[in-house]
Structure 1
Amino acid sequence: MEFKSKDFTDAKRVLKIRGLTVGLAGRPNADPVLRGIDLDIRAGETHCLVGESGSGKSVTSLTAMGLLPKDALEIQGGSIDLEGIEITQAKPAQMRALRARRIAMIFQEPMTALNPVLRVGEQIEEVLNMHSDLSRAEAKARTIDMMEQVHLPDVERIYAAFPHQLSGGQRQRIMIAMALILDPDLLIADEPTTALDVTTQLQILKLISEMQERHGTAVLFITHDMGVVAEIADTVSVMQKGRIVESAPIRQLLTAPKEDYTRKLLQAVPNLDPRAPRAPAEARDVITVDGLEMTYGGGGFFRASQGVRAAQDVNFTIQPGRTLGIVGESGSGKSTVARAIMRLIDPTAGKVTVAGTEIAQLSRRQLQPHRKHFQIVFQDPYRSLNPRWTVARSLCEGPINFGTSRADAMEHAAELMELVDLPRDALDRYPHQFSGGQRQRIAIARAVAMKPDLLVADEAVSALDVSVQAQVLDLLDDVQEKFGIAMLFITHDLRVAAQICDEVLVMQKGVVVEHGPAGEVLAAPRHDYTRNLIEAAPGRHWDFANFRALDRTTPVTGATL
């Protein structure tokens, strides 16, 4: 594998952090959130800050930007030197002048960072209007030029578009253009690709690297994905519980990590080696999907239109104890298929047979008795769990609705908590009192409470840290083995699919382009689109568990900007 090996020793130091300590505002005796952080970043260098949720990565970036939440967190010690400017002592007006011109930031979720009621071109121009003396015509010309630099198509149309009219990748490109339009010395990228599918992620990573090369920008890249780190980093710092526990050049960190925590993070990264195929627990089909189609829109009273075909002629079966993965980019139709099977939407055509009953044409009333046979785990457990209900109420609701006594439902709920490695006495807590990984465990317990024949997991681990992700994947595997459940697993990450799926079905623009055993699809893909997905998987050339490079010789067409 090729590592970035440029020596930055003689490069200009852009950011110098020494002894940075951040704690809860007004509570000097409470445990600090950041504990004596030391960090250096030089011009042209990409320094990756990695660690699990809660390790302090984002607090470090917000502190450097002067964006700590007021009355919640405060700097309690240390210094942040941005090319001679002491950030910890800077006044609000001085920080406003520094942002965008000297230091800029790309946030994780552009839809919440962009103003939904302003056109994106106007939002980029706003940076120029605040920090330069360019005329209106000059500002627009500069904006158009920067939009072209970040490879946005049809820039005149996108310039006049609102954020909701753009894809996730296009919105992230707008954020990059906004951050770099004044050529800042330091760019902070806080999980900018976590919510993107793998091909769009690859494009964004290439784009940041290209823009960095063009402008000589220092980059502080925050991520929990060691696969991404392997692709882009020059140097790496690993954070745990508010401390930096290890810092090293990328080659040294990946080949000879010193700390147990670093080794744990590396070994949690999924790879593309598919699991050993499993025989069905029983010789029957739990679910049969035959000719499933879903079309959105279509002809109305005043117009004739064929609508958007989100899924076309989808066919598959799943047996007890087996997992079928549906993979593809955003917009490929995979989640549409999952929602149609769950009857959260009504399919336009086709048959869906679950546990011997054809459910695609049933009315909502007719469907109700059959819902216990198929359950779903969503991507965001915080949104799928009622925040006003205790865990006990969430776990008991389904069984009680189907005739189980309250006492039996409570006992079953306690057993489920143990099954997902949570304490029984946590039943009286509320969702906000748990971590993201724990909430997902509760969501899995709620789904399993109904003793379903089919479990649908729709991007159920994509929002989790890699170490928590590995734990949840192991949990799904254990649950499936114990209860013989058939599982439909929706994901955009082929690395995850390799760890849990027996078969893989690849979708592109609503069409199934490849379907077969996971070992065949991932080891010898037949379709160019599948090969592009595999090539885009971050860290695909690395065996993280054994700290060594892999020889990946699968021919690919390559993802392009």
Structure 2
Amino acid sequence: MKFKTRNFDDVPSVLEIENLTVRLAGNEKAAPVLDRVSLTIRQGETVCLVGESGSGKSVTSLSVMGLLPRGALEATGGRIGLEGKNLLDLGPQAMRDMRARKISMIFQEPMTALNPVIRVGEQIEEVLNTHTKLSTKEKKARVLDIMNQVHLPDVERIYRSYPHQLSGGQRQRIMIAMALILEPQLLIADEPTTALDVTTQQQILSLIAELQEKHGTAVLFITHDMGVVAEIADTVHVMKLGRIVEQAPVEELLRRPREEYTRELLQAVPSLTPRAARDTPEGEPVLSVNSLQKVYGAHGVFKRTEPTKAATDVNFTIPRGRTLGIVGESGSGKSTVARCIMRLIDPTEGEIRVADQEIATLSRRALRPLRRHIQIVFQDPFRSLNPRWTIGRSLVEGPLNMGTDRKAALSRARELLKLVGLPDDAVDRYPHQFSGGQRQRVAIARAIAMEPDVLVADEAVSALDVSVQAQVLDLLDELQQKLGIAILFITHDLRVAAQICDEVVVMQHGRVVEHDSAANVLSAPRHAYTRALIDAAPGRQWDFANFRELESV
């Protein structure tokens, strides 16, 4: 693997952070959120800031942007130097003048960063309205030019489009165009590819590198994905609990990490090499999907439209105690299949059998007693848990609805919390009192409280740090061995699929293009689309756990 080997010794610095300390506002006794953080970024350099959730990565970026939440966090020491100025000394108006002209930021989720009721072209123009005195014609020409630079198709159409009319990758390109239209010296990218599938992620990373080379921009890239780090970084800074514990050129850090914490982060990255096939005998299938099809209506609100085939002729079975993964890009039909199986949406055609019961055509009333056989774990546990309910109430809701005695349900809830590695006194706490990984453990406990035959995990670990992700994957494997649950695992992360799946189904445009054992699909793919997915996986040439390159890929 060819790492970046550029020498930045004689290159002028763009950003200099020296001993930056950030504390909870009005609480000097609390431990600092950032504790004397120092880093330098030079012109044209990409610095990656890595670490688990809560390590202080995003607080560092918000400090540089002058966007710390007022009344919650405050910088109490240190210096943030840009163009000879200490940004901490600047007032609100001066910082507004700095943003977009000198420093810009790409956020993780463009749908929440973009205004849903304003056309995207107008939103990019707002930057020019604030910082330039260009004419209307000149502004539009400038916007169309930057949209072309970020490789958006049919820019005139997209200029007039609203955010919801664009794909996730296109929305992220709009955010990049907005950030770079005034050619700032520093671009901060805060997890800009975490929610994207591998091919779109590869396009965005290539785009940032291309624009960086063209404009000489310094980049501060915040991520927990070591594959991305291996692809784009010049220098890596590792954060833990508000401190930078290690910093080094990317190749040195990946080959010879000094700190135990850095080694743990690298060793938690799942390998693209499929796990060894399990020798457990295959029994009768507990989930069978035959000729499943989902077509969205042939009529729009105002005019007739062509039907959308979200899933076509999908077939597979899962025996007890086995895991089948469905992989593919956004829009491939993965989640549509999962929602049809859960009967959250109604399939158009086909048969779905769970525990030898046909459920595809049942009414909601007839389906209700059968729901205990199949449960789901969603991507975001904070949104799927009621924030006003204690954990205990969330865990007993399902069993109570099925007629279980409250005392017995609560006792079982405590057992389940222990089973997923949480203390039984968690029953009296609320979701906001747990970390993301702990909340996902609660969501898993709630799903298995019904003693299901099938567990559907829809991107259940995609939002988690690699170390927490590894813990949740180990937990699912452990629960499967103890309880014999069949798992349908929906993911866009091929590394995760390699470590948890016995079989893999690859979907493209609503159709299954490949279905075989995980070893065959990921080690010897037959379909060109599968090969493209594997080739797009960031850092695929690297064996992170053993700090070395793979001999062949």
TM-score by length of 2: 0.99
Shift of residue 278, structure 1, vs aligned partner: 2.2
Matching residue of 1:392: 392
CA distance in 2 between counterparts of 1:458 and 1:342 reads 11
Which letter does structure 2 place at the counterpart of 1:240? K
Match of 1:28 in 2: 28
C-alpha spacing 1:228/1:404, structure 2 compared with 1 (3 Å): same
Superposed, 1:345-424 pairs within 5 Å as: 345-424=345-424
Tell me how many residue pairs correspond in the alignment.
553
> What is the rounded CA distance, in whole Å, between the counterparts of 2:356 and 2:97 in structure 1?
66
1:301–1:335 CA distance, 2 compared to 1 (3 A): closer
Matched with 2:500 is 500
Q: Partners of 1:302 and 1:145 in 2: how far apart?
A: 34
Give the Cα–Cα distance (whole angstroms) in 2 for the partners of residues 407 and 69 of structure 1: 43
1:78 aligns with 2:78: yes
Distance 1:481 1:301 in 2: 49
CA-to-aligned-CA distance 1:248-299 (integer Å, 9 cap, x gap): 0001100000000000100111111111222455520101100000001214
Q: Give % identity.
A: 71
Amino acid of the residue matched to residue 523 of structure 2?
Answer: A
Q: Using the alignment, how far apart are the partners of 2:183 and 2:171 within structure 1? A: 19
Residue pairs, 1:137-536, within 5 angstroms? 137-280=137-280, 283-299=283-299, 305-536=305-536
> Quick one: distance in 2 between partners of 1:309 and 1:202?
27
CA contact (8 A) 1:542 1:548 kept: yes
- For 2:291 and 2:533, the matched residues in 1 are separated by 25
Q: Distance in 1 between matches of 2:48 and 2:170?
A: 23
Give the SS at the match of 1:407. helix
Q: CA deviation at 1:83?
A: 2.0
CA drift of 1:65 comes to 0.6
Which amino acid in 1 is paired with 2:491?
T
2:337 aligned partner, one-letter code: V
Decide whether aligned partners of structure 1 residues 302 and 68 sit closer, same or farther in structure 2, where only a CA change above 3 A counts. closer
The 1:228–1:130 alpha-carbon spacing in structure 2 relative to 1, beyond 3 Å, is same
One-letter amino acid of the counterpart of residue 468, structure 2: V
How far apart are residue 29 of structure 1 and its match?
2.0
Residue of structure 1 in register with 2:123 after alignment: 123
Asked whether the equivalents of residues 456 and 488 of structure 1 are also in contact (C-alpha less than 8 Å), the reply is: yes
SS in 2 for 1:222: strand
Task: Return the offset for 1:552.
Answer: 3.5
Distance, in Å, in 2 between the alignment partners of 1:412 and 1:335 is: 31
Give unmatched runs, 5+ long, in structure 1: 554-561
Tell me the CA shift for residue 73 of structure 1. 0.5
Distance in 2, matches of 1:282 and 1:544, equals 33
Separation in 1, partners of 2:452, 2:499 = 22
Q: Distance in 2 between matches of 1:306 and 1:164?
A: 19
Task: Name the CA shift for 1:22/1:384 in 2 (closer, same or farther; >3 Å).
Answer: same
Query: Residue deviations 1:42-69, cap 9 Å, x none?
Result: 0000000000000000000000011111
SS of the residue corresponding to residue 286 of structure 1 reads strand
Taking the aligned partners of 1:360 and 1:306, their CA distance within structure 2 comes to 24
CA, structure 1 residues 302+244, in 2 after alignment: closer, same or farther (shift >3 Å)?
Answer: closer
Verify the 8 A CA contact 1:382 1:431 in the aligned structure 2: yes
Once the two structures are superposed, residues 479-521 of structure 1 have per-residue CA deviations (whole angstroms, 9 ceiling, x without a partner) of 1110001010000111110010000000001010000000000
Give the alignment's Cα RMSD to 1 decimal. Answer: 1.1
Compute the displacement of 1:551 (Å): 2.9
CA distance in 2, matches of 1:313, 1:505: 13
Conserved 8 A contact 1:21-1:76: yes
Shift of 1:26: 1.2
Alpha-carbon contact 1:279-1:322 (below 8 Å) kept:
no
The amino acid across from 1:443 in the alignment is: A
Q: CA deviation at 1:304?
A: 5.2
In 2: Cα distance, 1:101 partner to 1:275 partner: 49
CA distance in 1, matches of 2:302, 2:251: 63
- Deviation of 1:209 after TM superposition, in Å, equals 0.3
Question: Is 1:281–1:320's contact at 8 Å kept on the other side of the alignment?
Answer: no
Residue by residue, what CA displacement relative to the aligned partner does 1:524-543 show, whole Å, maximum 9, x if unpaired? 10111101110111111100
Change (3 A) 1:304 1:110: closer
Of 293-302 and 25-34, more deviation after overlay is shown by: 293-302
For 1:349 and 1:300, the matched residues in 2 are separated by 21
Q: Distance in 2 between matches of 1:357 and 1:455?
A: 16
Distance between the aligned counterparts of 1:402 and 1:391, measured in 2? 18
How many angstroms apart in 2 are the aligned matches of 1:280 and 1:444? Answer: 23
Q: CA deviation at 1:423?
A: 0.2
Contact 1:281 1:321 (8 Å CA) reproduced: no
